[in-house]
Chains A and B, each alone.
Chain A
Amino acid sequence: MTKVTMTVNGRAVSGEVEGRTLLSAFLREGLGLTGTHVGCDTSQCGACVVHVDGKAVKSCTVFASDVAGASVTTIEGMANPDGTLGRVQQAFQDHHGLQCGFCTPGMVMSTAALLAENPKPTEADVRHYLEGNICRCTGYHNIVKAVLAASGQDVSGVAAE
């Protein structure tokens, strides 16, 4: 076991990890941040996406030791400081961008990364960027609508299919 230290949602944290401890396990089991979901554990579904130094990564496919010292943001860090839903989260609620909610933490984290890179994405940009996030419930249309709404674009003409 070795000690790792990193910043998670603005807070300095540390814990004992094995070499093989995945970032997803360190967050969920080590820090109790169970908002990061593990859907497939095989790098396919994107439910576990978090930001490492501002970039979206699949936390089930990164070792905690390899990101020691980094700044990590999880879904728990996406709410406003007063505890109300953040802009992306609120858009998902307003536009029914979720049903069971299992994929949602990863969808929100990928969306936030997209909007940081591309503040006014087109529908095609959104669909391309979210290719690595799989949702078994919604059929994606309302997720795309929520992302466009979160970017401040008018979605009244986008059909809910």
Chain B
Amino acid sequence: MKSSNNKKHLLTGNEAAAEAAILAGCRHYYGYPITPQNELINHMAIRMPQVGGTFLQAESEIAAIYMAYGGAAAGARVMTSSSGPGISLMQEGISYLAGSELPCVIVNVQRGGPGLGDISPSQADYFQAVKGGGHGDYHNIVLAPASAQEIADLVYDAFDLADRYRNPVMLLGDAQLGQMMEPVEFRKTPRTHQTVKRWALTGAEGRARNIVKSFYPVKGELETFNIRLQRKYRAIEHEEVRYEEVNTQGAEIILVAYGTCARICKEAIRRASGTGLQIGLLRPITLWPFPKEPLRRLAKKARAFCVVEMSAGQMVEDVRLAVLDRCPVHFYGRMGGGVPSSREVLKKVLNILAPEGTLELEIPEIPTELGKGLYFSTIP
């Protein structure tokens, strides 16, 4: 594929991520094969040599994350990608990236777990992505796209955010988003905020040497460093929260979902329109920093929240922490590769409104014009 970036391409989300990375100036990619992210690594293998970049299939995800660490330390824009088990192996390296304040973009195309699990869509790596995952007090910036188009857009932003804050950025997708083909238009001018990396390792010619490290053995130094890291995180929380609101004005029930589940919730809202049910959606686009304030604002008006996830309930904890006891927070989840349907979501909403089962609803069938890549309820 040529990087002619002002027309629509039909791409899997994985390919969109790879191509957007190249357009954002990434010339160093390291990865290890794992389903459901193979389209990404395969695309990089073809494209990187064409643009004079480095593609290297590492001997493991451990090696891949440290190769990316090396590239980042050397001042380049670097990407790696994986899924569940491979991301688990990368966690030590991600902690080192955060501790050494190195910019790096990591794509996690989530699959079902725990263990080897399966290769179906899942959102059960939320804790691992947003709560640190590796050792120590740190955060990844976590972006949650909901379409191939948004993957392309957010990959640009991921590189900018990583550079601006010298922090790892994780793009958290899933098997559905990664493998489904959708039309994608690449933003013409990537807003690449190419910072001058004076700290990078280039050889100390004509300047004082640079050291990239996360080791602070002198008493007190590490705490001072951690305080500075936390200040950076507070600044990110202040500046970088992103979310989308759908139909929240006057909604009785606010659905909260990201990625694939957010699209299913949008579908549920469409199916409920005209039935009198007032349902809205808050879709976090940044999972960390988490959109706490918008949730608190909505908690003043809504009757209840319902968090929908492909997990046993992970993001729901952050929603509860955000709204505390201002508003009841319900949960609907499917696990181990199960994907909720919009019908299941609507049934859950009815159950919240009338737990005794007195509320019935003719759920209309899906209007055909919605078949445009917005609807999916089952996975083949």
> A and B bound?
no
